[in-house]
């Protein structure tokens, strides 16, 4: 495959999927799963607004999933961490 053919295919893909061709334009990038303020890390959820940090997975979850995880894992988390498994995220998490 020639470089020109590859570039044409890439440009067609970008246009078809309405992607910004500038990789440094973060305004058009989708939220990232499991990252702070991104998508909830739980595959069955994936809601935006992941603001709770899970100290086991080291990923972020939405409030409703964090509550569910805390309810289910509270005794073990208290033994391991001395607090709930998922806590409100801080900038360092």
Q: Are both 14 and 40 inside the same structural domain?
A: no
Q: Are both 10 and 36 inside the same structural domain?
A: no
Residue ranges making up the domain that contains 4: 1-27
Q: Are both 54 and 80 inside the same structural domain?
A: yes
Q: Are both 41 and 83 inside the same structural domain?
A: yes
Burial zone of 49 (CB within 10 Å; 0-12 exposed, 13-18 middle, 19+ buried): middle
Q: Which two tokens stand for residue 73?
A: 């894992």
Q: Are both 40 and 16 inside the same structural domain?
A: no
The pLDDT of residue 89 is 93
CA–CA separation, 88 and 62 (whole Å)? 10
Q: Are both 61 and 93 inside the same structural domain?
A: yes
The pLDDT of residue 85 is 97
Domain count, the chain: 2
User: One digit per residue, pLDDT tens: the chain, 93 residues?
Assistant: 576 776 677 666 656 655 455 555 555 566 799 999 999 999 999 999 999 999 999 999 999 999 999 999 999 999 999 999 999 998 777
């Amino acid at each position: 495959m020639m470089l020109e053919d590859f570039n044409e295919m890439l440009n067609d893909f970008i246009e078809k999927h309405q992607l910004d061709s500038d990789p440094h334009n973060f305004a058009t990038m989708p939220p990232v799963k499991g990252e702070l303020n991104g998508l909830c890390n739980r595959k069955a959820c994936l809601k935006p607004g992941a603001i709770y940090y899970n100290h086991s997975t080291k990923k972020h979850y939405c409030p409703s999933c964090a509550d569910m995880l805390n309810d289910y894992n509270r005794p073990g988390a208290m033994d391991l961490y001395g607090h709930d498994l998922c806590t409100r995220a801080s900038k360092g998490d």
